[in-house]
Structure 1
Amino acid sequence: MALLQTSLIWTTGVVALVILAGVAITFVSIYSSPRERSLFVSFVTVISLTSLLATVCLLPIDIALVSTTTDNTTGTKKKWADPDTVNNILLSLKVVYYLLYSLDAFMCLLAMPFAYFWYEEWDIDSTTGSRIRGALKYTTAFALLVLVLFLVGFFIPVAAQRTGHEHYDLDYFRRLLLENRGERALTFIVGVLLCLGTVLYAVYTAPGLALFPVSLIKSIPAISITSAEEARDALAINRERQRIIEAKQIGGGAFSPKDKRDLENLQREERTLTRKQRLADEGKNRWWLKLQAALRPFKLLLGLILLGISGLLVASMLITGIDKIKYSKCGARCGYILTDVNIFNPINWIFVQSSKVFPIDYVIALLFVLFFFVSTVIGLAYIGIRFLWITIFKIRSGHTKPQALLMGTVLLTLSVLAINYGLTMFVAPQYSHFGGQKYCTWPLNEPHIIRDCSKHPEHLHPCSAGATGPAADVCTPTVVSTFINRITLNYPFFGVFAFWAQFVFIGLFVITAITALVRTPKMDFETQLDDEDEAEEESLLGATSHRFRGAWEDVRGSTNRG
């Protein structure tokens, strides 16, 4: 039975990995610019995306595997779940986690910088050797950064050594304090990347979590009879304005600099409107546009449901934050680790209740993880790659430069670490730590003896870090929760930073949601593209539409070109 259950879960994970690889290939082919596509850059991007998607989807597998070790009707370990078997399951999970985290770090800190500079080194006179040497020269700085982080993590004292006069009462936390210096170094590197990812998580995922449902609520069919009529009317007005300006020259007058600029702008706008009208007229009889219009009510309903889910997620995060501030036994000294859920958390409750029917809770967990990841992609497509207020690259369907693909993938990779932290420590902390596992405390007069609770279900309790004695042997924590708790316990400054960043996340979500529902920002087309055809296509995609629709079309990878 043990082999069958674990094999089924791992097989599901392998199938998901194959699907994710296909998603990564599709993503790169849709978003990359055909005129500037690089085979090497595309290959590195696909491998990186597949790795980070696998990392995201490993959390539900982790929860599923540890949950299978406990019989939730009796509150005891299953017969096959002896210590050796459980340790083997945890070891296999730990190996996969370390491989994926190491691959993510390698791709993020070395492979993608190398691919970036490899592409930048190209010119007419360049050779393969010169490009490799140039890329290695610049990538050396990143290699030195990794070495410095490893050495700092190797020698920096952890919390247990720095605060020797303090102690943690729970065995669960004492076991998390590191003694192995190699593992300590890896933990420190992941902690640094976690903090960087948390910043990106707040900047991109929070707005994306609000924009995703709002874009569904406010979206309309991209080409419709109304848009064709609007284009026709705008074209008539445009040509009339051109006629008025040209009449000045016919009457013997001279063009002023302002008239010349206005005429050039009107001529560019005329080309865009003419093409927009033609595509709109051609699209009236296209079946998928009719289907899109017919599905509009369902799209609106889905948007409302997702908006409600987003609000529930953020409310659960706020509740957990308050719970940690009020009930964390060690506060900032251990990164606000929480032993038990003391305030009702709706998302955590939903997971615990759904765990009664296999495998509903695992499916919901996977959907939540993917919801956060897709929201990050939408936030990235909407905001673009920026440094402060300066836009460096934009993520657009069919127009994304190779450098933008690489940088966007780096941002997504770092965000994945923060997504794992947010789900594990804030959204559903108790469930993410122990899944649907339960332990029994019957008889009441012998609290240190665990017995069969099948006849006394009222004495079944969800597993938590506060479970001590024999209950601690029944409850098996997930590998990801152990790893994250190890980071925050050994290096509390990482935990404190990630903790307070969640409140910034909540604030940005609320601001974006309110702004998006009340007022729709418009697309900014002040930046002109060098290629006139691309400029016309970009204007066609959104010159008279709203920013939400343009961002949503980019995320879906659909264009309205004939």
Structure 2
Amino acid sequence: MSTSATVAAIPSSPSAASDVLLYTTLEAESPNNTNPNDHNTIDPSYNYPIWIPWAICGVLFFVIFIITSIAVCLFQDRREKSFIALVTSIVGISLVVFSIFVVPVDIFNVSQTFDPKENSLVIKILYYSIYLILLIFGSVIIPFAYFWYEEDPKLGENEDDDDKLFHTIKFTLFTFIAGILIIIMGLVMSAISGTVADKNSVTDWLKQLVDVEHFGDRAIRFIVGCLAVVGCFGFNIYTAYGLSALPIGLMKRKYLTYKDENVVDRRADEVDEEIDLLQKKYRMKGTSMNREDQKKYDRLRQEKTELENTSIRIERSKKSIIAKLEPCMYPFKLLIGFGILVVIIFLLISLLINLIYRTVTSKCGIACGFVTEENCYFNPLDLLLTYSSIIFPIDYIILALIICLFIWASMVSLSTIGLRFLCVKLYKLKVRSTVPQGLLTSGIFLMFIMLATSFMLPSFAPVYTTFGSQKYQDSTGAWKQCALAAFNFTEHKLSQNVNSVTIGVPVFSIIFYFENWLFVLCFIIGFIVSIFKKPASFEEADTYDHDEEIMKRPLRGRSYKEYATSSTRSSMSLNSYNAIN
């Protein structure tokens, strides 16, 4: 028996690619004229009840919700609290994280259940429902909570609640309408090059625009693609840097800057002397300061406050429990950091192999974003996940750990870099110091990053995320890993979503391809920066780095004599102590 597989070639132009669907045909010749399906079935070795993926889904959502609630409550500012912002952040971030953890469940459904087609439609609806909920959260609910808190942080204390509600709804509608207009403009631009039976028929053009025949799949693909493209920028900046900074940060040893304390003390004395000179100068004259001296005086006062805060951080770090346990914890942190670094390099090599393979074997080139219909069988991550699927559920645990690593790296990067837009720092993400606006903004950032992560997973392990551990029986009776040449296989809904976006709107495929290379470049740059970056000291890593918080509660319960003795600065006065406590 001889078997040949023919895969439709991908068109060379983006306009043609948007109207063509990939298909596979299996032509088998047999002397007995047997049906090719007889030797092309799913490997029945691992069949599990159909309720297992849904049980996993429910447990995952419950666990994610609990962990997210604890994390958000831990990060929120102790002095500025908002119930609306807290609940919105918990629900929004839980949905964001859950959306990425649906991927292992999707793969489990296709690879291990007895009849995956029974769950396929439900999982597709689940994906679309998550996308819709995230869109509503990102464009309506989170902006509403953000503007509500901006109007009046102290809820319930203002009598003009109607005016506050009116302004909040006004700004929220403005954000929502702006997003809708951008999506409509993109849909119109993407449909201009399309072909319609009657060019003069507005009705036919509108039907093509929203893809009425397929229940609006074109519009959904475009919206999800736009959100994923925006998320790719956050994925490249935050996740790429986090993956490079996370292991290096664990392996670097934090240090106590006792020498810096003397430098701070000397500079504080110099600032006090300069302030005294300015005050004596104008006290003797009996006049007010001129503009230049007033600016200098204000600058010196601000520097003095910063030096006092730095001195307090150093004093706190000396008595920190973490600082005392650091020598014992460092060997374990070094081992964990090295292990994470090996895993990250392994993932990066898999991504590079896939990108190079696509570039070499793609028949359509840059016109379709180097899409290829051939499987890369020497991708290390693909091989690991495929062979580990022999023993259930090792492959799903590995995939879940990879997703957790991406989330952890993104959180570390958000905490280190801060919430920024066009290099402008909006808010900081610190334990017990994140304002409600920062929590809401971090929810939007994570929303885009996790959506981009789901679109990036097929780039790391394309075969496994498309076919899972499915196998088919060839003409010789041997079981092989599923490929496009296989006649009978079920594609994961994640892979279907990504392929429908990239093939249906080819410009997205081009963007995602170059975004993958940009991710590699950002990782390399972040890795070099992390190596040469000075490790954070304990006072720099102090969670109470908010100046006002430090000034209010640096060392409660200590006497002024103890406080003055702990700091060698003779300029520390009783007034400073009273102001601090």
TM over 0.5: yes
Could you tell me which of 79, 83, 89 is aligned with 1:35?
79
Shift of 1:303: 1.0
Say whether 1:45 aligns with 2:82.
no
Q: Which residue of 1 aligns with 2:558?
A: none
Q: Which residue of 1 aligns with 2:31?
A: none
Aligned length: 484
Say whether 1:24 aligns with 2:78.
no
Say whether 1:303 aligns with 2:337.
yes
CA contact (8 A) 2:419 2:442 kept: yes
CA contact (8 A) 1:231 1:273 kept: no
Alignment of 1:298-337 (within 5 A): 298-337=332-371
Change (3 A) 1:321 1:179: farther
Alignment of 1:519-530 (within 5 A): 519-520=533-534
CA contact (8 A) 2:108 2:396 kept: yes
Q: Which residue of 2 aligns with 1:557?
A: none
Instruction: Identify the range of structure 1 (270-279 vs 104-113) with the bigger mean alpha-carbon deviation.
Output: 270-279
Could you tell me which of 410, 416, 420 is aligned with 1:376?
410
CA contact (8 A) 2:358 2:370 kept: yes
Distance in 2, Cα, partners of 1:128 & 1:537 = 32
Say whether 1:406 aligns with 2:440.
yes
Unaligned runs of 5+ in 1: 70-80, 165-176, 444-450, 454-459, 541-561
CA contact (8 A) 2:48 2:112 kept: no
Could you tell me which of 136, 139, 142 is aligned with 1:109?
139
Distance in 2, Cα, partners of 1:158 & 1:410 = 29
Q: Secondary structure at the match of 2:345?
A: helix
Q: Which residue of 2 aligns with 1:476?
A: 490
Unaligned runs of 5+ in 2: 1-43, 198-210, 285-292, 556-580
Say whether 1:133 aligns with 2:152.
no
Shift of 1:159: 11
Q: Secondary structure at the match of 2:420?
A: strand
Distance in 2, Cα, partners of 1:155 & 1:263 = 58
Shift of 1:213: 0.9
CA contact (8 A) 2:316 2:554 kept: no
Distance in 2, Cα, partners of 1:376 & 1:4 = 34
Q: Which amino acid aligns with 2:357?
A: D
Alignment of 1:495-510 (within 5 A): 495-510=509-524
CA contact (8 A) 2:152 2:164 kept: yes
The CA deviation string for residues 81-129 of structure 1, in whole angstroms up to 9 with x for no partner, is 4xxx432111221121111111111111111111111122227756332
CA contact (8 A) 1:202 1:501 kept: yes
Change (3 A) 1:322 1:267: same
**Radius of gyration: which is bigger?**
2
TM-score (normalizing by structure 2) = 0.74
CA contact (8 A) 1:149 1:188 kept: no
Could you tell me which of 195, 198, 203 is aligned with 2:229?
195
Shift of 1:220: 2.5
Could you tell me which of 479, 502, 513 is aligned with 1:488?
502
Instruction: Identify the range of structure 1 (3-12 vs 108-117) with the bigger mean alpha-carbon deviation.
Output: 3-12
Q: Which amino acid aligns with 2:89?
A: T
Q: Which amino acid aligns with 1:401?
A: V
Q: Which residue of 2 aligns with 1:209?
A: 243
Change (3 A) 1:202 1:179: farther
Change (3 A) 1:311 1:112: same
The CA deviation string for residues 379-421 of structure 1, in whole angstroms up to 9 with x for no partner, is 2222222232322222222222222221221111011111011
Could you tell me which of 124, 130, 152 is aligned with 1:100?
130
Q: Which residue of 1 aligns with 2:316?
A: 279
Q: Which residue of 2 aligns with 1:432?
A: 465
Shift of 1:47: 0.9
Change (3 A) 1:505 1:150: closer
Distance in 2, Cα, partners of 1:240 & 1:189 = 60
Change (3 A) 1:178 1:58: farther
Distance in 2, Cα, partners of 1:537 & 1:214 = 34
Q: Which residue of 2 aligns with 1:394?
A: 428
Distance in 1, Cα, partners of 2:275 & 2:61 = 62
The CA deviation string for residues 480-502 of structure 1, in whole angstroms up to 9 with x for no partner, is 11011001111001111111111
The CA deviation string for residues 159-185 of structure 1, in whole angstroms up to 9 with x for no partner, is 996599xxxxxxxxxxxx995142221
Distance in 1, Cα, partners of 2:192 & 2:512 = 17
Say whether 1:54 aligns with 2:98.
yes
Change (3 A) 1:369 1:128: same
Q: Which amino acid aligns with 2:138?
A: C
Q: Secondary structure at the match of 1:295?
A: helix
Q: Which residue of 2 aligns with 1:555?
A: none
Distance in 1, Cα, partners of 2:297 & 2:367 = 67
Q: Which amino acid aligns with 1:300?
A: L
Q: Which residue of 2 aligns with 1:86?
A: 116
Identity over aligned residues, as a percent?
A: 26
Q: Secondary structure at the match of 2:472?
A: strand
Distance in 2, Cα, partners of 1:538 & 1:532 = 10
Shift of 1:218: 1.3
Shift of 1:63: 0.9
Q: Which amino acid aligns with 1:116?
A: Y
Distance in 1, Cα, partners of 2:112 & 2:49 = 8
TM-score (normalizing by structure 1) = 0.76
Q: Which amino acid aligns with 1:355?
A: S
RMSD: 3.7
Shift of 1:25: 1.2
Q: Which residue of 2 aligns with 1:534?
A: 549
